[in-house]
């Protein structure tokens, strides 16, 4: 039985299992993909994986990246390379300490119209990306810069 995209989105299941004597965890999704998480050594972790809050920024990059590539591919843009640098600042002196600001620099190489790249980024981060919407709902501001090299 073939499922629709909306049905696939509703069927998420993640297992998170402790894998050492401190704070390391292995997260496994329903397809068997894994991500290792750990805490900073300053609080007793071993830095053997991404920190859980960093995974949110990674998710933002992945979510936005899928949208942006999809939009630009439909517009017949020829992307030879694409990357982004994401920096975030969390609230200070609060528990929980949420993301307060996120800055993303998108880098495109190829035959890409800079205006189309800028519009694709804006559509993703302001309309389509669920992670961006989740961060904004928690009070985070997200800004970005686009660089296109031919």
Same domain, 97 and 57: yes
Same domain as 133, residue 100: yes
**Residues 28 and 81 both lie in one domain:** no
Q: Which helix (H) or strand (E) element contains residue 27?
A: strand 25-29
What does the pLDDT look like over 96-131, one tens digit per residue?
999 999 999 999 999 999 999 999 999 999 999 999
| Residues 101 and 135 occupy one common structural domain | yes
Query: Are residues 17 and 72 part of one domain?
Result: no
Per-residue confidence band for 150, with pLDDT thresholds at 50, 70 and 90: confident
Rounded to 5 degrees, φ, ψ at 113 are -70, 120
Q: Is 93 in the same domain as 35?
A: no
Q: Domain range holding 36?
A: 5-43
Structure tokens belonging to residue 130: 């669920």
Residues 62 and 38 in one domain: no
User: What DSSP character marks residue 75?
Assistant: T
Q: Using an 8 Å Cβ cutoff, are 99 and 59 in contact?
A: no
pLDDT for residue 7 is more than 70: no
Residue 143 phi/psi, 5-degree rounding, is -125, 165
Q: How many domains in the chain?
A: 2
**One domain for residues 37 and 88:** no
Of 61, 32, 39, the residue nearest 144 (C-alpha): 61
pLDDT in tens, 65-82: 999 999 999 999 999 999
Residue 6 pLDDT exceeds 80: no
More confident residue, 11 or 86: 86
**124 lies in the same domain as 83:** yes
Residue-averaged pLDDT of the chain: 95
Residue 4 pLDDT grade (very low, low, confident, very high; cuts 50, 70, 90): low
HSE (side-chain half, CA atoms, 13 Å) at 117 = 24
Q: Residue 60 belongs to a domain with what CATH number?
A: 3.30.300.20
Q: For residues 6 and 20, is the Cβ–Cβ distance under 8 A?
A: no
């Amino acid at each position: 039985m073939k499922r629709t995209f909306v049905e696939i989105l509703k069927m998420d299941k993640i297992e998170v299992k402790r894998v050492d004597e401190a704070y390391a965890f292995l997260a496994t999704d329903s397809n068997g993909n894994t991500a290792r998480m750990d805490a900073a050594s300053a609080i007793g972790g071993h830095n053997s994986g991404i920190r859980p809050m960093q995974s949110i920024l990674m998710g933002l990059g992945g979510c936005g990246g899928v949208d942006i590539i999809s939009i630009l591919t439909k517009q017949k843009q020829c992307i030879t390379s694409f990357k982004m640098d994401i920096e975030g600042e969390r609230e200070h002196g609060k528990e929980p300490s949420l993301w307060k600001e996120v800055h993303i620099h998108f880098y495109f190489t190829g035959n890409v119209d800079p205006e189309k790249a800028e519009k694709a980024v804006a559509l993703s981060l302001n309309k389509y990306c669920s992670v961006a919407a989740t961060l904004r709902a928690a009070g985070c501001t997200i800004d970005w810069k686009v660089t296109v090299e031919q």
